[in-house]
Structure 1
């Protein structure tokens, strides 16, 4: 298991993550990319704790995602299964599990203050923290003509992962209002959403 983990997370995180996996009896499965989520935790009918994480994640996002999912399991075990999935109990658990990893042997120095800020009050997804998400994306493998919503000029057309085409509109607080070209419906996009700018 440590050999597998070493392919996906930073070297100095392998031993402590393996200890978490053993401690909580996790069955970890590394899966092909799912666009809608980085990872998933569930307890199956036979009582096994199953966690899946996308294989395509860079090693820093993979580590954060794996600890995020282990935090669901740990929070349910400590506080009961009636808690909110991303409520206060989960936030406390996630922060406590993640803090030992926020050090320069594991994460690059320029990520440490962003992680420290994020884990004061962790969100359901690190993608909703635009600053941290963009900083983590610099470690992704580069793909063709990918850009982020904040880079798309006002009024320009762009395509998202499912092929739908949108026209970029105005920024509303943190997110951008964009019109789906085929239906005229309005949608809100986080500034760090990856898109393909159309000519």
Structure 2
């Protein structure tokens, strides 16, 4: 398992990540990219804990996602299945599990202050933290995607499902976007990845 982990997460995090997997008896499955999520946790009918993580993630995002999902497992085990999936119990668990990884041997120096800020109150997805998401994106392979906040007002973009939108005004955090074919307005997180139609 450590040889597999070495392909997906920073070298200095492999031993600690493997210990988490072993301690929690996790069946880790690395899967093809899913557009809607980076990973997920399921307790199987046979009682086994299965965590899936997208193979396409860069090594820093992969590690954060893996620990995020193990935090779900640990929080549900410790506090019961009735807690909110991303509630206070999960946040505290995620913070504690992530703390040993927040060091310069694991993450580049430019990410550490952003991670420290993010983990004061971790969100359901690191993607909802615009500064952290943008910083993590620089470690992704080159692609033709842009974030919504990079699309100019009135600019058109395409989603992974082929639907075309026109970017509108920014509300407090999210952007109003008009679906061109239906005229319906949707709200998008600022760092949703889309294809800019120039």
For the aligned pair, the TM-score class normalised by the smaller chain equals: over 0.9
State how far apart, in whole Å, the 2-side matches of 1:151 and 1:17 are.
34
Instruction: Please tell me whether residue 139 in structure 1 is matched to residue 150 in structure 2.
Output: no
- Which residue does 1:76 correspond to in 2? 76
- Which residue does 1:157 correspond to in 2? 156
Instruction: Please tell me whether residue 14 in structure 1 is matched to residue 19 in structure 2.
Output: no
Which segments of 5 or more consecutive residues in structure 2 lack a partner in the other structure?
none
State how far apart, in whole Å, the 2-side matches of 1:195 and 1:13 are.
31
State how far apart, in whole Å, the 2-side matches of 1:27 and 1:195 are.
32
- Which residue does 1:27 correspond to in 2? 27
Instruction: Please tell me whether residue 191 in structure 1 is matched to residue 190 in structure 2.
Output: yes
- Which residue does 1:180 correspond to in 2? 179
Q: Does 184-193 or 106-115 show the bigger shift?
A: 184-193
Stretches of 4+ moved more than 3 A in 1? Answer: none
State how far apart, in whole Å, the 2-side matches of 1:155 and 1:181 are.
11
State how far apart, in whole Å, the 2-side matches of 1:146 and 1:25 are.
36
TM-score normalised per structure 2: 0.98
CA drift at 1:78 = 1.1
TM-score normalised per structure 1: 0.97
CA drift at 1:100 = 0.6
CA drift at 1:33 = 0.3
Q: Cα deviations across residues 8-57 of structure 1 (Å, max 9, x unaligned)?
A: 00000000000000000000000000000000101110000000000000
State how far apart, in whole Å, the 1-side matches of 2:63 and 2:3 are.
15
Q: Cα deviations across residues 147-183 of structure 1 (Å, max 9, x unaligned)?
A: 2211211111111111100011011111111000011
- Which residue does 2:59 correspond to in 1? 59
State how far apart, in whole Å, the 1-side matches of 2:182 and 2:89 are.
41
Which segments of 5 or more consecutive residues in structure 1 lack a partner in the other structure?
none
State how far apart, in whole Å, the 2-side matches of 1:149 and 1:77 are.
37
1:115 counterpart SS class: helix
1:56 counterpart SS class: coil
- Which residue does 1:36 correspond to in 2? 36
State how far apart, in whole Å, the 1-side matches of 2:57 and 2:32 are.
10
Q: Cα deviations across residues 104-152 of structure 1 (Å, max 9, x unaligned)?
A: 0000001001000100111111111111111111111111x32221121
Q: How many residues align?
A: 198
1:110 counterpart SS class: coil
2:29 counterpart SS class: strand
